[in-house]
């Protein structure tokens, strides 16, 4: 009697070790993501013929009436492109996989942390525009509910983030703690850039 071996299981993604070196790599990527995000706003506004002043954390016309929804969404779109591209590289490449993971997560969490703050502010103030972020501004300029693009972009960013979180080493509690730790790290980087570096590097802004 001939015995046929069962088909091999599909190769699974190796577990991702989230340790001190990964947090350092994540923080470095986070610092780079901010000016890249703002450069997308800057380039789009310039293509539209609108002069803008760019810092590490802002890129908008001095005349706020010149804001354009397409230019406001350019930053989040770039974040999504970076996160998606890095996630694909992590999945299909055998090289620099921790770097791809850190880049994808930093790009996604940069927006997800903002979305969490926007939603909290909206619950407190009744307006998604109270923090003045890209997605609510774009929605407002197009006459849509202020959280329209927050929800639209949150879905793919959450999917990308989950695709990494599920591969974290450790128990479910450890994974949750790492998500919280990475989110707080991103928040800290944002506060450092927005409240410390920007005022010092661009005092006339």
- Work out the number of other CB atoms within 10 angstroms of the CB of residue 191: 11
State the residue for tokens 């997308």: 40
Between helix 148-165 and helix 172-192 the angle, nearest 10°, is 130
Using one digit for the tens of pLDDT, what is the confidence trace for 142-189?
999 999 999 999 999 999 999 999 999 999 999 999 999 999 999 999
Contact 106, 29 (CB under 8 A): yes
Query: CA nearest 110: which of 56, 146, 64?
Result: 56
Query: CA nearest 30: which of 137, 141, 190?
Result: 190
**pTM of the model as a whole:** 0.90
Between helix 20-47 and helix 97-125 the angle, nearest 10°, is 70
Least confident of 37-41, 55-59, 60-64, 201-205: 201-205
Using one digit for the tens of pLDDT, what is the confidence trace for 124-155?
998 889 888 999 999 999 999 999 999 999 99
d(CA 18, CA 27): 13
């Amino acid at each position: 009697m001939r015995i046929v071996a069962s088909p091999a299981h599909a190769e699974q993604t190796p577990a991702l070790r989230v340790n001190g070196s990964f947090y350092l790599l994540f923080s470095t990527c986070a610092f780079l993501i901010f000016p890249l995000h703002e450069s997308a706003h800057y380039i789009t506004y310039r293509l539209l013929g609108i002069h803008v002043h760019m810092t590490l954390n802002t890129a908008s016309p001095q005349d706020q009436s010149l804001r354009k929804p397409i230019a406001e969404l350019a930053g989040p779109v770039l974040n999504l492109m970076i996160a998606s591209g890095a996630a694909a590289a992590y999945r299909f490449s055998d090289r620099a996989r921790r770097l791809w993971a850190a880049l994808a997560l930093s790009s996604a969490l940069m927006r997800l942390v903002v979305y969490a703050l926007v939603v909290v502010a909206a619950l407190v103030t009744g307006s998604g525009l109270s923090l003045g972020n890209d997605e609510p501004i774009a929605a407002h300029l197009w006459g849509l509910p202020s959280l329209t693009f927050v929800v639209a972009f949150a879905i793919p960013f959450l999917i990308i983030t989950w695709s990494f979180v599920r591969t974290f080493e450790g128990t479910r509690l450890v994974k949750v703690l790492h998500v919280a730790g990475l989110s707080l790290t991103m928040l800290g980087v944002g506060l450092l850039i927005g409240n410390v570096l920007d005022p010092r590097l661009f005092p006339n802004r």
